[in-house]
Amino acid sequence: MTTDRTHRNRKRALRIAHFIGLFIAMSIICIPGLWIVLNSFRPTVEIMAKPPVWIPNELNLDHYRAMFGGNGQGGVPVLTYFRNSMVISVTSTIIALLVGMGGGYAFARYRFKGKAALFVGLMATRAVPGVALSLPLFILFARIGIIDTHFGMILAYVAMNVPFTVWLIDGFFRQVPRELAEAAEIDGCTRWQAFWRVEFPVARAGIASAGIFAFLTSWNEYALASQLTRSVYSKTMPVGLLDFTSEFTLNWGGMCALAVLMIIPALILTFLVQKHLIAGLTFGGVKG
């Protein structure tokens, strides 16, 4: 009887500990982001208040209005940055996907000499730190005259994303049984038709998630963009975030508002893709 009771008590204690642990962990994950969102709606006076104001007296859209208002009183050309970010991220993602599909298919379906070495070599190019790569790219782009252009940024981001899309897409094509395409070929399809009609549709969801991953990488990148973009012609949002800082002051509220604008698309896309992303990373890695 007593052992039964202590056993039950221990079980209950464990359950409470589990709940508390989970609660603390989730709070640490959520609070920083929520705080940013909250502050984007608060007037600057309240953000700077001493002693702090815990329960907001007033929530308004002033920071958003100032942000979209254009160049009036310290306004930042947010819409231009947003458009630059979109153009650069979407274009580089599409190109990286096409290139990655070719490469991923080659790794998944063909056997050739030096395959493993080539694969690690491709991955190693991704490991080159952005800031170290930005030095020679800056010199080179300045010479060719593509610094501060969309084209230059797209080129850089395609190269940055290709190794990763190759890795992910390779994993997805591996999950498609080889026999499927072979059967289609026996039925009279050409290899090219078999790919588009059979293998591609099966791996499509996975390829889409590789695309979203590539998009997010470009969307969030800073180290290269901060050096290769100079003006409103090509500045992306991560670089634009710095417009809210000046030597001695920081416009916290404005920064928070831009941060929210940056997070929303990322949030939606990540939510859409989460299931496939996990499968892609693990199968690409484990069954490789």
Partner 1 sequence: MVTPSIDLPNGLLMTRLKLPPWLVLLLPAILILMAVVLIPLLLSLYSSFTSYRLTRPDSITNWIGTFNYEKAAKDENFWAAFGRTVLFLTIALNLEMLFGLGLALMVSKVTKGQRLLRTVMMFPMMFSPILVGFQFKFIFNDNVGLVNNALQSLGLSSTAIPWLVDGKLALFSIAFAEIWMSTSVFGILILAGLYAIPQDPLEAAKVDGCTSWQSFRFVTLPFLMPFIYIAMAIRSLDVARAYDMVQIMTNGGPARRTELLWTLIGRTGYVDAKMGYANAMGYISIFLAIFFTVYFFKKLTSARAELGMGG
Bridge partners (DSSP) listed for residue 245: 250
> Nearer Cβ to partner 1, position 1 or 28?
28
Residue 275 structure tokens = 């299931």
Interface with partner 1 in residues 62-81 (CB under 8 A)? none
Q: Does 230 bind partner 1 (CB under 8 A)?
A: no
Q: Does 166 bind partner 1 (CB under 8 A)?
A: yes
Q: Which stretch binds partner 1 (CB under 8 A): 3-11, 61-69, 197-205, 250-258?
A: 250-258
Burial class (CB in 10 A: 0-12, 13-18, 19+), 281: middle
> Nearer Cβ to partner 1, position 87 or 269?
269
Q: Does 82 bind partner 1 (CB under 8 A)?
A: no
Rounded distance, CA 236 to CA 217, Å? 13
Q: Does 198 bind partner 1 (CB under 8 A)?
A: no
Cβ neighbours around 8 below 10 Å, total: 10
- What mask of x and - would describe binding to partner 1 in positions 106 to 125, judged by CB under 8 A? xx-xx-x-----x-x-xxxx
Binding residue for partner 1 (CB under 8 A) from 7, 191, 197, 230? 191
Interface with partner 1 in residues 253-272 (CB under 8 A)? 255-256, 259, 262-263, 266-267, 269-271
> Whats the size of the chain, residue-wise?
288
Q: Does 98 bind partner 1 (CB under 8 A)?
A: yes
Residue 65 structure tokens = 């209005």
Interface with partner 1 in residues 269-288 (CB under 8 A)? 269-271, 274, 278-279, 281-282, 285-288
Backbone phi and psi for residue 123, each to the nearest 5 degrees, phi listed first: -65, -40
> Nearer Cβ to partner 1, position 68 or 126?
126
Q: Does an H or E element contain 98, and which?
A: helix 78-109
Bridge partners (DSSP) listed for residue 130: none
> Nearer Cβ to partner 1, position 1 or 127?
127
Bridge partners (DSSP) listed for residue 250: 245
Residue 141 structure tokens = 């782009």
Binding residue for partner 1 (CB under 8 A) from 75, 77, 200, 222? 222
Query: What sign does the dihedral 52-243-160-126 (CA atoms) show?
Result: negative
> Nearer Cβ to partner 1, position 66 or 195?
195
